[in-house]
Amino acid sequence: MFGMLTETQAQQEERLLDEEEKIAPTAIYDLELLRECKSSRRRWKFFCVLVFILTFTSVAQLYLSLSEFKNQLLITTLNRVKSAELTKDIDIIPIHSHNDEWRRLPLYDALKVGAQSVEADIWYFDSDPETIFVGHNKVFLSSKWNLDDMYLNPLFSLIGQNNIAKRFEDENVSTRRNGIFYNNLHQTLYFYLDIKSNGEKTMAALEDKLSHFINNEYLSYYDSETDEFVEGPITVIITGNYPYDFIVSKTKRFFFIDAPLFKFKDDEELAKYNHSSISLASSASLYELTESRRALGGVSGLSESQVETISSYIDIAHNNDIKVRVWETPSWPIRTRNEVWKQLITLGVDTLNVDDLYAATTFF
């Protein structure tokens, strides 16, 4: 059997050789040409793939560069915005721009609707002592998004524009600096800074950053020696990882603490946050006050029990001349969110904590 297979294979090979001898030279040339074409097609495909990868990489780099340029151009342009153009004919409303740095135009979007309170999350690191970063999540921090460019420089410019006329006044007469809002120059802007990093180190860096605001009398302050509170164009309120002892140790305090509202039923805790000397405002999440993150009344908003509980905390705060804000309330469904907002306004919260600025304006 093995021998037969071998003989058969030999006969097939002989026939193939005979057939190859019969092939015309032009046919052999055509076969070689075909092989060359196939090889060229493979090289061409490789070349096309390489060009595509290089082009895609270049376009991606160009997009990132343009995005960075766009961000820098936006910051530069906004820093030239006139205070009168931004806030003229805008009614000031008691809403708090929560996580303001997430907005398309941080600070400006809030001021444009008349929000009297703005909050930014801040971080400080020893590795970059000249920068206070702005951002909610540490993973996404960037030196391009910093406190100077996003908030301090624009605020200083806007307030400066509204105080040019001070040169026409008597230098011997002490007058309060004008604020940001065109329609009410004596309205302070509550500027919340939510410290996400080390409290004392961040506060030390913050004091340095705000020194020119202090020197120009742009900040509200409390003088413990005269027991006097003086309101300025901006009132800075520290929340998050605030260093309590560091702040209250100052004889002249330019920073106030966002007091923990949910602790106000403890007299000892309440005593730590005296109005105007330490805390002007307090806040707590819905969960901290009611032990529920949901509006238990469903589409009707807060339940009667939740309303009663929140009302009791508001009464304590107001009896001590401390403002109230409740955060982390339901954002969905919209009907429930709106009902909760209405209930909180009726209960007497001083500032409505909001993420949707434009929706909130319809309630005032």
pLDDT tens-digit series, residues 215-240: 999 999 999 999 999 999 999 999 99
For 290-336, what is each residue's pLDDT tens digit? 999 999 988 899 999 999 999 999 999 999 999 999 999 999 999 99
**CA 129, 135, 138, 140 torsion: positive or negative?**
negative
- Per-residue pLDDT of 96-134, as tens digits, reads 999 999 999 999 999 999 999 999 999 999 999 999 999
% of the chain beyond a pLDDT of 90: 70
Q: How far apart are CA 200 and CA 238, in angstroms?
A: 12
Q: Token pair for residue 188? A: 């302070």
* Pair type for strands 221-223 and 228-230: antiparallel
* Average pLDDT of the segment spanning 236-254: 97
State which amino acid sits at residue 311: S
Residues 306-316 pLDDT 10s: 999 999 999 99
Give pLDDT, residue 63: 54
* 134 membership: H or E segment, kind and range: strand 132-134
Q: CA 348, CA 92: separation in Å to the nearest integer?
A: 17
Nearest CA among 276, 155, 274 for reference residue 216: 155
Q: Tell me, what's the pLDDT at 163?
A: 92
171, 214 in Cβ contact below 8 A? no
Average pLDDT, the chain: 87
352 forms bridges with which residues in the sheet? 95
Distance between CA 265 and CA 323 in Å, rounded?
A: 16
| pLDDT score at 1 | 46
Residue 178 has pLDDT above 90, yes or no: yes
pLDDT at residue 24, rounded to an integer: 52
Using the predicted structure, report yes or no on whether residue 191 has a pLDDT greater than 90: yes
Which tokens hold the place of 310? 């929140």
Task: Please count the residues of the chain.
Answer: 364
Per-residue pLDDT tens over the stretch 32-88: 665 666 566 677 766 677 777 777 776 656 655 555 555 555 555 566 678 888 999
pLDDT at 361 > cutoff 60: yes
| Cβ within 8 Å of residue 96, ≥6 positions away | 115, 117, 118, 119, 190, 192, 325, 351, 352, 353, 354
- DSSP helix/strand/coil, 106: coil
pTM: 0.80
At residue 50, the pLDDT reads 73
Exposure string for 28-42, b = 16+ CB within 10 A, e = fewer:
eeeeeeeeeeeeeee
Maximum distance among all alpha carbons in the chain? Answer: 125
pLDDT level of residue 3 (50, 70, 90 thresholds)? very low
Q: Which residue has the tokens 């000031």?
A: 92
List the domain boundaries for the chain. Answer: 81-162+177-253, 255-363
